[in-house]
Amino acid sequence: GTTTLAFKFQHGVIVAVDSRASAGSYIGESTLMSAASKLLSNMMYQYRGMGLSMGSMICGWDKKGPGLYYVDENGTRLSGNMFSTGSGNTYAYGVMDSGHRYDLSIEEAYDLGRRAIVHATHRDSYSGGVVNRVSIVAQGLAHRVL
């Protein structure tokens, strides 16, 4: 269950997630996004074919600017501008595909993340609760709950 999304825009990365399921949070020491995603990919590759189910996003800001990577249970690692995982991801993608553009303002980006998660929670019975949004910009993190 649950729906998680992230996308890059001119000011950084927006991450949005519903609150139906949660596994906590961890913010570690500053590292390159590519290195962090490769580490997770290597760990997951060792367990491929063992029936695990995972779709994870590594999001942040490093010396290269905003970073966004997707890693799955087989160790597949993709860099991109927009990803969504979880049972409501197809609904979230529909909203993001129609509303995402790189030059969004911070408020427009927050609103797009909110609308995409809300749409997913209305269409997917395994997603729901409040919408948590985080912006990751050069100045740091900001968290909002709807």
Residue-level pLDDT, tens digit, the chain, 146 residues: 578 889 999 999 999 988 765 444 444 445 677 888 888 898 889 988 898 888 899 998 888 889 999 999 999 999 999 999 999 999 999 999 999 999 999 999 999 999 999 999 999 998 998 898 889 888 888 887 76
- The pLDDT, as a whole number, for residue 31 is 62
Give the number of other Cβ atoms within 10 Å of residue 68's Cβ: 24
- The pLDDT, as a whole number, for residue 53 is 87
71-76 CB contacts, 8 Å cutoff, 24+ apart: 71/37, 71/40, 71/41, 71/44, 72/44, 73/44, 73/47, 73/48, 74/44, 74/45, 74/48, 74/49, 75/41, 75/42, 75/43, 75/44, 75/45, 75/46, 75/48, 76/41
For the question of residue 2 being annotated catalytic, the response is yes
Q: What Rg value do the Cα atoms of the chain yield, rounded? A: 15
- Number of structural domains (the chain) is 1
pTM beyond 0.85: the answer is no
- To 5 degrees, how large is the angle CA 14–CA 63–CA 4? 20
- The pLDDT, as a whole number, for residue 98 is 97
Give me the catalytic one of 2, 3, 4, 85: 2
- The pLDDT, as a whole number, for residue 77 is 95
CATH of the domain at 123: 3.60.20.10
Domain span holding position 136: 3-145
- The pLDDT, as a whole number, for residue 21 is 55
